[in-house]
Structure 1
């Protein structure tokens, strides 16, 4: 069963940019596309009897998803596109969709009072609670044209490939592109020099440790280079969020993971995740570490 790429639309320019990205991704990944518009129009209009005139918001929503469906079909004629209107809170609706989706795609900003923010409340809440990867598409075109097929992923200190790295490799393979694996490191203020490599310069030792770790993870991620993806290694000193933003300057997609624990209210979005969602120059995929990639 091929899970769909799900995209949330609300009629804003940002949501149509997300739709275009989702349609293109569905086409290159050979996945179906599901367009969803969720709104609590029933709460504001009131429930209506069967013979009453339908609420204006319901009619507008149906026109919106029809327009979105037609637009997606023009972008990817070979993609199977379905569309649905749901009288539900947008976050709850898309979280529900995430149980049976390859990824959920949204714009970084929507309508209303959140439109002036860098990242809207729906995007943040969904990234916190989704059961599958969430891709947040910026509202504006990047100032630097992306390099075709380039995907950047942040490699954590986990000993084995995380769902984020697996997802990033798959997205690079679908593009017949390249993967840039970034491992950022920083020297602790007070460290115990117990590692054998730490006999020399601490900075040199930490860099070599980071290189070793990255090589080990990538060897497990793409055994025998079976994916066909060219993988570039980037081991850099400095704050992770800063180095990832720099690496993503000419990328088509930046992929990051979430915290390993999933609590009552969802995943743990740390400062790196928030920085990526606010400042990354390209679409950002947030992949739950609990996701079965």
Structure 2
């Protein structure tokens, strides 16, 4: 079964930008694109009121889907495109599609005057619970933003792709996250920058052989060697992907925001809780989806 790239649309500027990004990604992956509109229902309404409300919701859904389809057919006519609408709750409906998708793409409003995202409860709920990757895209994201600027500094889609950045926690380096990042870089013929942030530990809690026992000037070299060793098997699998490993002494949240500056895509992992309570994400993922300017791919893992 060929899994589609799925984009959630609701007529907003951010969802249209997400649909465009999803269309380009579907072409890169040679997958169909499915546009989905999920709308909430109101169980406390009387039967007649509910029928009227549902009819209005279906009309708005059809209009939102048509608007996204028209835009995609203009900018990305080669993509194989279908659409579907579903009665909510919206988060639950989108999760059903996300869990049967190659990946789900959702929009998120850029914060005026700041670099980052304003993430709604529906998007947060999908990111926290989806078992497949979810990508968040800003409202002002354009095709040229994935590419390096032209020689004169102007935006261009004829230049190479910007770096794919992989935020990697070496204490929890998961194959799913690394594989997603390498594949994203391979499809774009882009460089992969793998970043690990470390902090000098306190003597309390150190175990035998811990890198914290190494003298201060050598710790970065030890972490870099560890990072290179973790990625070596993936370098062997993808010899055509240029990889740059870097380690920084800093808070992980601060390091990833800085590393993602100028990137085309940031890839972070999200550990799925056995019994999730509410739309929760870890601190690094939370920082990524709120403070990074490029699209963010959140890759779930156990």
Closer, same or farther in 2 for the Cα pair 1:138/1:196, shift >3 Å? closer
- 2:85 is matched with which residue? 85
The runs of 5 or more residues in structure 2 that have no matched partner are: 111-116, 149-160
Closer, same or farther in 2 for the Cα pair 1:281/1:197, shift >3 Å? closer
What CA distance in whole angstroms lies between the structure 2 residues aligned with 1:277 and 1:230? 26
Deviation string for 1:221-259 (max 9, x for gaps)?
Answer: 231543x11111111110111111111111111010012
User: In 2, are the aligned partners of 1:259 and 1:268 still within 8 Å (CA)?
Assistant: no
- 2:242 is matched with which residue? 230
- 2:221 is matched with which residue? 208
Aligned length: 280
User: In 1, are the aligned partners of 2:186 and 2:238 still within 8 Å (CA)?
Assistant: no
Structure 2 length as normaliser, TM-score?
Answer: 0.83
RMSD between aligned residues: 2.9
User: In 1, are the aligned partners of 2:36 and 2:65 still within 8 Å (CA)?
Assistant: yes
- 2:274 is matched with which residue? 262
Closer, same or farther in 2 for the Cα pair 1:152/1:9, shift >3 Å? same
What CA distance in whole angstroms lies between the structure 2 residues aligned with 1:267 and 1:40? 18
Closer, same or farther in 2 for the Cα pair 1:145/1:57, shift >3 Å? closer
Deviation string for 1:88-114 (max 9, x for gaps)?
Answer: 12211111112210111101149xxxx
- 1:252 is matched with which residue? 264
Structure 1 length as normaliser, TM-score?
Answer: 0.85
Deviation string for 1:193-243 (max 9, x for gaps)?
Answer: 743876652x233212211221111112231543x1111111111011111
Instruction: Tell me, yes or no, if structure 1 residue 195 matches structure 2 residue 209.
Output: yes
User: In 2, are the aligned partners of 1:109 and 1:118 still within 8 Å (CA)?
Assistant: yes
Instruction: Tell me, yes or no, if structure 1 residue 182 matches structure 2 residue 186.
Output: no
- 1:56 is matched with which residue? 56
Alignment of 1:1-293 (within 5 A): 1-41=1-41, 43=43, 55-109=55-109, 118-141=118-141, 147=148, 148-158=161-171, 161-191=174-204, 192=206, 194-195=208-209, 201=215, 203-223=216-236, 225-226=238-239, 228-259=240-271, 261-265=273-277, 269-290=281-302
- 2:153 is matched with which residue? none
User: In 2, are the aligned partners of 1:261 and 1:268 still within 8 Å (CA)?
Assistant: no
User: In 2, are the aligned partners of 1:185 and 1:206 still within 8 Å (CA)?
Assistant: no
User: In 2, are the aligned partners of 1:154 and 1:183 still within 8 Å (CA)?
Assistant: yes
Aligned to 2:225, what secondary structure does the other structure show?
helix
1:282 CA drift (Å): 0.6
Closer, same or farther in 2 for the Cα pair 1:199/1:56, shift >3 Å? closer
Q: Name which of structure 1's ranges 148-157 and 98-107 shifts more when overlaid on structure 2.
A: 148-157
Aligned to 1:256, what secondary structure does the other structure show?
strand
What CA distance in whole angstroms lies between the structure 2 residues aligned with 1:208 and 1:23? 41
1:66 CA drift (Å): 1.9
1:10 CA drift (Å): 0.8
Q: Name which of structure 1's ranges 155-164 and 267-276 shifts more when overlaid on structure 2.
A: 155-164
